[in-house]
Amino acid sequence: MPRPSCQYCHIIASNQYRLRPSQQAYVMGYPRSVHGVLMAISIIIFSALLFSRGLSSYIAYGIGVFVVGGLISQLVFLRYTGLRQNIIAMQETPIILLAGLLGDLASGPAIANAPVPAQFAITAASIAITTSMMGLLHLLLGYFKLSIVIQWLPKAIITGFLAGAGALSVRASFGLMTGEDVSFALLQSSDLALKCGVGVLFGLLFLGLTARVRHPATLPLVLLAEIGLFYGGLWLLGGNVPLAQQVVLAQQTGWLTDMGVVSVSFAPLQWAQALSAHWAVIGAHLVAQLLNLFLIALVCTVVLLMNCTAIGLALGQPQDFNRELMASGLTNVLLGAVGCPPWFHSLFSSVLAHRMGVRNRWGGLVNMLVCVGILLFASAGINYFPKTILGGLMFFIGLSLFVDCAIVSRRAFPPREFAAVWVIVLVMLVFGLLPAVLVGAALAWGLRVLRG
């Protein structure tokens, strides 16, 4: 996940986890299994986030498309990337931005009152168009060797957009905890307030323990512990009621994820067929969003180049940015055709796998195969996963990104540049992505002028 200045970077860039030759077999398998588990969790979270607000019946479709898209991306990317330790993954930045845009669009009366298949069509088509735009943009930038454009953007502006993405993630996490669009008025409901409170507590546990215990096993272990705490709490609070009945009640009251039967099979043209069938209802609204979808692709391009820079520095090996753009471009053009969100270079996965001994191109593909195995053979268990923990994970991701970029980064910038970070965050939260991009461009020009 794109965290150029995150709390993990100094950990994964160190030699702390270089093990002895006698431990190489363990080293080669452990990070891949951990990454595969985290990838499966990410796919579930991202699918639930994009197919929310009445589209929960399509979450299984989303998981299937994301998994098959992930297999396609790993096979294509490992062939064309220039650095064999590069690992590609689905990133939270485009998911969060897409979820925010789709949420604003769904709140409009024209789409809110449309039939559910039409709402699915505009959601799935927006995902496919954004991924395709990003792929074409990367191919053009790589072919014409224009990766140098990132040098024009001041670091404060890029940091502001990442902090804004984190803030949007925190806001979106409350909807994931409750399954509803949460507002201050709705939080007066004791049930929603309790769900949000428990989710925030789980998120803070993730944040505190991963910061304090700096080991790659911390996150999955904390996740297992929180699941145990949740079901232990059900058992204690249930009194004489059997735990099985408590679980059924928790499902009925919205505490547990209800995805039905999860399958990795999918119809690759389902999004296009739905778009064609409902074009008369959603066509004008989708066309009106093309600029916003392109801006999401543009922000993701900046994040990709930042990740490539950080990976190269951490591994001590130069990156050919134009080649990486071409590899990402080809990958995402193919993913757009099947309706999958963007996949691109993962800073955390690439550097952690390198420091734990993975030295070949197959690491990302093995991670994805582990993920597929989990979703194939443990899909029934997904329906018993607490929503508050899923929301807590999203809260943890967003809050850690926001804290790193909007608070900890204070020492890295002079006052006026740090002020620009917060201006972009506030504009993204209040007015949306497009105004934030316009303000960010104006601030970038202003900072360049002030620097002389």
pLDDT of the chain, 452 residues: tens digit per residue: 333 334 333 333 333 444 344 333 334 444 455 566 667 777 877 887 788 767 877 887 888 888 888 888 988 988 898 887 788 888 877 887 888 788 777 666 667 778 888 888 889 999 999 999 999 999 999 999 988 776 677 778 878 877 887 788 788 788 778 877 666 555 566 778 888 899 999 989 988 887 788 776 677 788 888 889 999 988 888 778 888 888 888 888 888 876 555 555 566 667 788 888 888 878 888 888 898 899 889 888 888 887 787 677 667 788 899 999 999 999 999 999 989 999 998 876 676 566 555 566 666 777 777 777 767 776 666 678 788 887 887 788 778 878 888 898 888 888 888 999 999 999 988 887 668 878 887 888 888 787 76
Residues 6+ apart with CB under 8 A from 42: 89, 90, 92
Answer yes or no: is 229 within a domain. Answer: yes
Question: Among 440, 150, 442, 405, which residue's Cα sits nearest to residue 301?
Answer: 150
Which tokens is 43 given?
A: 């796919």
| pTM score | 0.67
Answer yes or no: is 4 within a domain. Answer: no
Answer yes or no: is 430 within a domain. Answer: yes
- Buried-state track 327-338, b at ≥16 Cβ within 10 A, e below 16: bbbbbbbbbbbb
| Sign of the torsion formed by the C-alpha atoms of 310, 315, 317 and 322 | negative
**Angle (deg, nearest 10), helices 92-106 and 387-406:** 110
Whole domain around residue 293: which residue ranges? 9-451
Distance CA 413, CA 427 (A): 20
Distance CA 7, CA 271 (A): 38
Answer yes or no: is 3 within a domain. Answer: no
Answer yes or no: is 193 within a domain. Answer: yes
Answer yes or no: is 2 within a domain. Answer: no
Whether 74 and 340 have beta carbons less than 8 Å apart is answered as no
| Sign of the torsion formed by the C-alpha atoms of 390, 306, 129 and 362 | negative
Answer yes or no: is 420 within a domain. Answer: yes
User: What pLDDT shows up at residue 131?
Assistant: 95
Number of folded domains in the chain? 1
Whether 163 and 429 have beta carbons less than 8 Å apart is answered as no
Run of H or E including 343: strand 343-345
Q: Which residues pair with 239 in a beta bridge?
A: none
Answer yes or no: is 186 within a domain. Answer: yes
Which tokens is 33 given?
A: 């299994």
Cα-based distances in Å from 209 to 12, 79, 218, 225: 16, 37, 7, 11
Helices (H), 238-320: 243-252, 270-277, 279-288, 290-315
Which tokens is 242 given?
A: 């059997």
